[in-house]
Amino acid sequence: MSNLRIGTSGWNYPSGKGAWTGVFYPPKRGRAKGFDELAYYAEHFDTVEINTTFYGQPKAGVAQTWVERTPRDFEFSLKLYRKLTHADAPGVLRLDDQEIDAYRLGIEPLANAGKIGALLAQFPPSFKQSPQSHAYLDALLLRFRDYPIAVELRHRSWSDAFDQTMSLLNAHGAALTQIDEPKFKLSIRQNQLPNVTSFYYMRLHGRNAAQWWKHDKAEDRYNYLYSADELAPIAETATAARQLVKKFYLYFNNHHSAKGVVNAVMIKHRLGEPVPGRYPRSFIDAYPHIANVVTPDYTEAWTPVPLLHSDQ
């Protein structure tokens, strides 16, 4: 089995201009009608990154359904609950062991089934390198020491003090999350090299700099489709880094209108990885440049949608 797992950040985007229904998912379907988005997603990818565990504590009952709705070798990577990574007040982060216990309990069914890829501690740009933040991160990683954990740091102070940052993460066997996103003056700088041999964790957010900070809807920030040329160096990184680590996780967070699905398909094909599952005609009509990469589902009733991308 390949040590490379490629997927998207989330699978459920039912509303907004960037909804997946009618693009990646067949139109007007729902679980009440016998259609399961997660099961359908799992026919196409072997991993997904969970966003909902950031906004609310995971529930064991829900996690158990995820186990049952996906194949045995499917893996979930899960964001830590936001109260563990984002301060309620500026500069104030307090370690809450009750919240940690609740989180661990909520993901227990996935852990018992061997379906956890990694946990993601995603910190905001306001989380800067300092003795206090260093101590907090050290304590947090200690409490999650029995899980693979990746840390997403965004402020440049962490890369300016690169040796200190790496020493801290390496001491816990934690992977520095490699992120692709618009780079600003205070954005973290990264060299794309793995810092631990256990696993590598990469997230691609898109490069929509114009709408990164100013947008009408949150989904607008992720309205970006990587070109084949832009994916080429990312594929080269994956090819090299996967030789140095046991597992390589690559997630596309440019979720607007299922663009992350498109790019996941493109890079899987470029890397010689299988592109399983059948894709609805609505998806191929929206993104015709991947028509020769995916297998169409000719049995699916479909409704044409406007082209979302036509110049690649």
The domain limits of the chain are 4-296
For the residues 72-88, what does the mean pLDDT come to? 94
Q: Dump pLDDT digits (tens) for 171-223.
A: 999 999 999 999 999 999 999 999 999 999 999 999 999 999 899 999 999 99
Q: Over the Cα atoms of the chain, what is R_g?
A: 19
Inter-helix orientation angle 131-143/162-172, to 10°: 20
Check whether 60 has a pLDDT greater than 60. Answer: yes
Q: Dump pLDDT digits (tens) for 231-285.
A: 999 999 999 999 999 999 999 999 999 999 999 999 999 999 999 999 999 999 9
Residue 204 near residue 225 (C-beta atoms within 8 A): no
**Sheet containing 178-180, strands listed edge to edge, beginning at the edge strand earlier in sequence:** 4-8, 247-252, 199-204, 178-180
Q: Dump pLDDT digits (tens) for 88-111.
A: 766 678 899 999 999 999 999 999
The pLDDT of residue 206 is: 96
Whether pTM exceeds 0.75: yes
In CATH terms, the fold of domain 4-296 is: TIM Barrel (3.20.20)
Q: Cα(284)–Cα(46) distance, rounded to whole angstroms?
A: 21
For the residues 44-73, what does the mean pLDDT come to? 97
The pLDDT of residue 305 is: 39
The pLDDT of residue 26 is: 82
Check whether 312 has a pLDDT greater than 60. Answer: no
Q: Cα(82)–Cα(62) distance, rounded to whole angstroms?
A: 19
With tokens 């036509």, the residue in question is 310
